[in-house]
Amino acid sequence: MEKLLELAAAKGCRAEVFSTREKSLSMSKVNGSVDDVSASIQSGVSLRILRDGRLGFAYTKNLIDREELVANALASLDAGVEALYDFPDTGSIVFSEDFDESVEEMSFPDMRERIDHIESLYGEMKQGIMEAAAGCGTIEIRIINTSGADLFQKESSVYSIGTMIYPGTSSGLKNVFAGKLDAEVFEPDVKRTVSNFDNSLPEVEIGDSRMKVLFLPDSMYALTWRLGAASSAKAFYEKVSPLLNKKDKQVFSPLLSVVSNPAKRSMGRRKFDDEGVRTGRVPVFENGVFKNSYNNLDYASKMKTAPLGTGFRSGMWGGDKVALSPSPSFSFANFVTGDKSFEEILEMMDRGVIVCGALGAHSGNILNGDLSIGLNPGLYVENGKVAGRVKDAMMAGNIYEMLSKTIAVENSPHYTGSMYENPSILLDDISVVGS
Amino acid sequence: MLKKLKEMISGADTDYLDIRYEVKKTTTVSIAGPELKNAGSNSTDGFVIRALKYGGFSSVTVTREEDVPEAVKLAVQGASAMAGGGKTVSLADVEPVRDYVEPDLHGDPAEVPMEEKIALLWKYNNIMLEQPGIANTNLSYREVDREKFFVSSEGTAIRERVCTVSIGGEVVACRGDLTQNVRAAVGGANGMAVLMGRDDVFLKKAQIAKDLLDAEPVKGGTYDVVINPSLTGVFIHEAFGHFSEADIIEDNPSLREKMALGEKIGSDVVTIIADTLIPNQVGFYKYDDEGVPVKTTSLMLNGVLKGRLHSRRTASEFGEPVTGHCVAQDHGFEPIVRMGTIYLEKGEKPLEDLMKQMGDGLYLCDGKGGQTSGENFTFGAQYGYQVRNGEIQEMVRDINIMGNLFTTMKNIEAADNTMKLSERGGCGKGQMNIKSGHGGPSILIRSMVVGGV
């Protein structure tokens, strides 16, 4: 890595080297039969160079020829991409509190034991299909740059997932359990899922009407994507955000706050972002008021503001960190928890639907905040009880109007297997279109 | 390289073993509005190893050559761990193949200088950006050139190069708080020629984005709709195509029953073909990523299910012929069952007759992403029009549709006499497939649920 910096410096460049090494195992079981077994050992290096206000970028998975990587970065630099920033001098950070070396020793028989256990917790299903999955992995990230930063992070993770699929469909209800060393399974969560599944087996035709809608943590990404598109420094710089001129203004319910804080979460904590900037708490929306856009080094320099530690190498669907350039990232932003238990929220629903999965959340005018998703599945609730699942139904609206109708926020966040850790939120008077 | 791969997998204690090595060269140029954001060419490589032992099947991906022995060992361990787990895997028989395939390129992108690619992208970007009402653009040139080497313990040894180019992105129009965006894309798998002289595509999309600022959101409800070829392609891909991928329904007994070959699940006007061998199309390839020659497959004939897309594993499980549709995103992924080019056959009527047949409803145009889950699907339209009494009238926006496969396939009432295939793929079934082409004619569908906003 250091050699790459030397080669780039010899060409008169400031430089940054980002490298990763990942190892993972996974196994899954469907209706009692082991279905998929796979493993992956991946590594990669990417190089960014700066010279005369220009940026060069190159990457490879196999660092065999350093000269070639530097040559690719120099060729990229010649194209003339403007860059008015320097790499940060973050000093040295070694963060390995979230790493347990025993995870590296885990094997396929360990995964087999876990999927057998999780399957046993769901018992004999009356109808539908049971899927159990387990996996483990480790990831190392190192960033060094010519400004003096030398940053290293190593973490491990273990997960178990139980999913109950409705008969004749591919949609269902699931529980995700994850940890740095072990995925502790909370049996009350499993019992609640089994009960909701059994109660929602009948299909209900709801027609077109307005009703209460409860977003579960699994479907909250449909909202987060839209808020993230609008509050990115990129959208502000390009003057296409619907939040332009709305800083410090109320844009939805005061019950809701959205904060990016990569260092404070149960899984995947980050002390520095993918550009080597220290992470911290970035309140994007506070009590319904738009407070801050989030940025990366590039847009911070363009907007003449400080970088916030929110520059990550990720796309809408994740992606290969090594091959992606850092961009302003909302992937660590979460809704702040409220004051109601899930049971209390359910009791508030005289008539409504629970959005357990969102179909087509990536469709439509995301930047404008328009949301039109299939409820997949959507549980139908009457008088605080799950009474079935809706047939062929969509919910639609503009999220700023929708979130203005928030009436409750759950008091605990839930890890759902993605970066997001959100509570459930209950909205009132939302348009639901059904068959 | 083929000889080296053969040596890497020789001597392993398995019933079957294969290895795929791939070099992927990617050239990307990105522009946002008036700024060049990214330009460069990069090369990555890696190995995928799969092992079958005692009826267990496992895969391992690695990037470094020195990790290959560990990966082979891990794949064998994985297969052994799966063995006795309730499911016995076998692979459908195929004849070993030895072949070397080069694509038929009209202008090899590898020979075109970067400056020309950047200039072409600027040209299309500025065509859109200079239109009145346009606030921004995000446009990218993307060239993916994959050199794949596949060797199996059965004696297959194939080298195939597949090369895809595209220029695509979005154009954004703004007025006050209202923002509207429209997607534009050109591309294919037959070289640079397909990218040339396409000014009209980008100009038209910029005009549509601007017009959407004056359009009203569609009101949610149930409508009869005519969808244009682009949307027909998205619909066939999302609603039906994924269901014809054997791995999607493999472990779901009730769906396997509903999708049994010979079942009539569509109306008489619905005939669907998977033809990855159509020359020059984005989906084109000759061998899949387990070394099986791809075959043109009739999936539905006049509403009756005729065939299915398979890997060797699913073909054996279903007792059906292999089709050569087991494809990986790249060297970082194991292959899974994927569509190549899939389309709905055209009919005989002109579009105007479909409108008259519909009477009142919506005319919906161009896909804006879709998704499927079991028999439910959803997709977005970039723009649409109200149709009254068979006449196309005012523009509407914010259109998303949801439906049920089995209900909707029977509600397809007519297809017009046009045919258009997509120029850029992008299906995210667990991993990205940029070679998922689709298309068809305009079709009339009764009673679709439209979400609106």
Per-domain residue ranges of chain B: 2-214, 217-450
Q: How far is B338 from chain A (nearest CA, A)?
A: 17
Distance of CA B87 to the CA centre of its chain: 30
Residue of A nearest to B43 (CA): A60
pLDDT value at residue A434: 79
In CATH terms, the superfamily for domain A2-197 is: PmbA/TldD superfamily (3.30.2290.10)
DSSP state of A106: -
The pLDDT of residue A180 is 82
In chain B, the residue whose alpha carbon lies closest to the alpha carbon of A397 is B453
* CB within 8 Å: A360 and B32: no
CA dist list (Å): A98 to A135, A158, A251 = 17, 11, 37
Distance (Å) from the C-alpha of residue A108 to the closest C-alpha of chain B?
6
Among A residues 255-294, those touching chain B with beta carbons less than 8 Å apart: none
pLDDT (mean) for B115-129: 97
Cβ contact (<8 Å) for B62 and A370? Answer: no
- Minimal Cα distance from B381: which residue of A? A364
In angstroms, how far is CA A288 from the centroid of its own chain? 21
- Is B41 within 8 Å of A75 when comparing Cβ atoms? yes
CB contact under 8 A, A58 and B40: yes
Question: pTM for this structure?
Answer: 0.91
What are the structure tokens assigned to A84, written together? 């008015």
* pLDDT < 70 stretches in chain A: 317, 418-419, 435
Residue B453 has pLDDT above 70, yes or no: no
Selecting from B114, B251, B380 the residue whose C-beta is nearest the C-beta of A360 gives B380
Residue B117 pLDDT: 97
pLDDT of A246-282, one tens digit each? 999 999 999 999 999 999 888 889 999 999 999 999 9
- Decide which of A192 and B395 is more confident: B395
Q: Where are the domains of chain A?
A: 2-197, 200-222+337-433
Where b means 16+ CB within 10 Å and e means fewer, B330-351 reads bbbbbbbbbbbbbbbbbbebeb
What pLDDT is attached to residue A279?
Answer: 97
On the question of pLDDT at B116 being above 70, the answer is yes
Mark yes or no for CB contact B36/A82 under 8 Å: yes
Q: Quick one: pLDDT at residue A278?
A: 97
| List of chain B residues whose C-beta atoms are within 8 Å of the C-beta of residue A165 | 252
Angle at B299 between CA B293 and CA B302, to 5 degrees: 150
Residue B102, SS3 per DSSP: coil
Q: Please state the φ and ψ torsions of residue A106, each to the nearest 5 degrees.
A: -65, 150
Give the chain A residue whose CA is nearest to the CA of B172: A240
Which distant-in-sequence residues (6+ apart) come within 8 Å of A55 by Cβ?
A: A48, A49, A76, A77, A81, A82, A83
List residues bridging with A138 in a β-sheet: A23, A156
Quick one: closest CA in A to B40, which residue? Answer: A76
β A33-51/A81-82 pair status: unpaired
How close B335 comes to chain A (CA, Å)? 12
Does domain B2-214 match CATH 3.30.2290.10? Answer: yes
Question: Do A72 and B428 make contact, defined as CB atoms within 8 angstroms?
Answer: no
Q: CB–CB of A396 and B451 under 8 A?
A: yes
| pLDDT at res. B231 | 94
Q: Could you give the 3-state DSSP secondary structure of residue A88? A: coil
pLDDT digits (tens, 9 = 90+) for B264-293: 999 999 999 999 999 888 889 999 999 999
Query: Given this model, what pLDDT does residue B433 score?
Result: 85
What pLDDT shows up at residue A419?
A: 65
CA–CA dist B452, B218 (Å, integer) = 5
**A-chain residues within 8 Å CB-CB of B79?**
37
What confidence score (pLDDT) does residue A425 get?
98
B191 pLDDT above the threshold of 80 = yes
